[in-house]
Amino acid sequence: MAGETLTIIDNRTGKSLELPIQKGTEGPPVVDITKFYKEFGLFTLDPGFLSTASCKSTITFIDGDEGILLYRGYPIDQLAEKSSFLEVCYLLMWGELPTRPKFEEFSKIVMEHTMLHEQMLNFYKGYRRDAHPMAIMVGMVGAMSAFYHDSLDIQIPRHREVSAFRLIAKLPTIAAASYKYSIGQPFVYPKNELGYVENFLRMLFKVPCAKFTMSPVLVRAMEQIFILHADHEQNASTSTVRLAGSSMANPFAAISAGVSCLWGPAHGGANEAVLNMLNEIGSVDRVGEYIRRAKDPNDSFRLMGFGHRVYKNYDPRARILKKAAHEVLAELGREDDPIFKLALELEQIAQSDDYFVEKKLYPNVDFYSGIIQSAIGIPTNMFTVIFSVARSIGWICQWMEMISGKESIGRPRQLYVGAPQRDYVPLHRRP
């Protein structure tokens, strides 16, 4: 029996075409337009992908109107509360929660691959000390393909798996080394008996002359940040990874393209921009001025950490991090933290302002994550680096799904609005 279709009629010719409608397990159905150009000689135009599904996926689902985020069907709040980042990695990679032996095996494999090839550490010395750690990340992740080229045949499932393990295991080490280099401290080698997130925090903060300790409350908050950032369906950086990977580029190259895309302030760079903005506002009595600026169509200023392409409701990740921020500041005895108070005030004022209400601009994941990281002692320029470490599992799974689904190379078309064909005029005949 034929499924539902959408009939399109070309009013210029009267020609009609029935386009198949495909339904997913959740979310709006899609109309399959692959035959559209062949039948009508027309491309579709959708800059920014406002109405376009770029692929089929089984990994993550977002209902932006309801503020729902599911990883492999599991609600994000349940995972953030009860799971661990490594378990979420397993879930995203294999589609199911692991049995206990499977989880042990998976954790062991990841934690036994945390060290970098020693020669890779030499690369850091080539960077200026004041380089942004994201600049170093872009280079170092791409450079992994120069070191781990025994697993680069992407047609072989085992190679894809080995590359995935290497990325999950080594990115925290690369990220921590970027930080250590920028502050002139010695690199800290991973300690595999620690949990994934605790090991990362240790590599960030340990110095040879002192013992490393961190409150479990802070480690757990950081683990939640990792879980909440692990995947977010076809966002800009994930789409970048899929597109880069669709040319059969190796996974390290594709993931480094994702890191580059994430860096921008409209995407992962927003967490850094939020804290800079809060510091710039400085005090509650200046909030009104910044709200006015955000609403002014002639001012390019936007309230960072507000608004989302998909969420037209409170970002569920922001709700979890707001609670975590309270817990972290209480643990540190800093309930009166002026920046946190300022953020709460800003949120309250924005949420009662017609402009933000009508445009459905709510706090997004970046609004509170920087406050937590800053309280833990992580410098602002590391926020996006940490986002990239956490998101790498999402990129890897989306890349694997794309490769194993044998999608063809991503090649969008365009509406050309440039000069029509014209003849070259030699320089000596031009004025």
Q: Which residues bind ligand CMC (CB under 6 A)?
A: 232, 235, 266-268, 270, 294, 302-309, 359, 361, 364-366
Structure tokens belonging to residue 302:
């936007």
Is residue 308 flagged as an active site residue?
yes
- Residues pairing with 61 in the sheet: 70
Q: Which residue is nearest to ligand CMC (CB)?
A: 307
Residue 98 or 394: which CB sits closer to ligand CMC?
Answer: 394
**Sheet of 60-63, strand order:** 60-63, 68-71, 74-75
Residues 6+ apart with CB under 8 A from 3: 20, 21, 22
Residue 32 or 353: which CB sits closer to ligand CMC?
Answer: 353
As a whole number of angstroms, the distance between CA 369 and CA 221 comes to 9
CB of 389 to ligand CMC, least distance (A): 15
Cα radius of gyration (the chain): 24
List b or e across 149-185, with b for residues whose CB sees 16 or more CB atoms inside 10 angstroms. Answer: eebbebeeeebbebbbbbbbbbbbbbbbbbbbbbeee
On the CB side of 202, CA atoms within 13 Å amount to 18
Q: Which residue has the tokens 């047609």?
A: 155
As a whole number of angstroms, the distance between CA 391 and CA 424 comes to 48
Say if CB 114 and CB 190 are below 8 A apart. Answer: yes
Residue 129 or 292: which CB sits closer to ligand CMC?
Answer: 292
The catalytic position among 113, 231, 308, 315 is: 308
Instruction: Give how far Cα 370 sits from Cα of 179, 277, 334, 342, Å.
Output: 16, 11, 15, 13
The catalytic position among 113, 229, 267, 366 is: 366
**Sheet of 5-9, strand order:** 5-9, 16-22, 30-31
Residue 188 or 343: which CB sits closer to ligand CMC?
Answer: 343
Residue 191 or 360: which CB sits closer to ligand CMC?
Answer: 360
CB of 259 to ligand CMC, least distance (A): 13
Is residue 354 flagged as an active site residue?
no
As a whole number of angstroms, the distance between CA 22 and CA 28 comes to 9
Residue 1 or 50: which CB sits closer to ligand CMC?
Answer: 50
Structure tokens belonging to residue 45:
């135009």
CB of 309 to ligand CMC, least distance (A): 4
Residue 191 or 302: which CB sits closer to ligand CMC?
Answer: 302
Outline where DSSP puts E strands in 33-108: 60-63, 68-71, 74-75
Q: Mapping DSSP to helix (H, G, I), strand (E, B) and coil, where does residue 21 land? A: strand
Q: How many residues are listed for the chain in this entry?
A: 431
- Residues pairing with 17 in the sheet: 8
Annotated catalytic residues are 308, 366
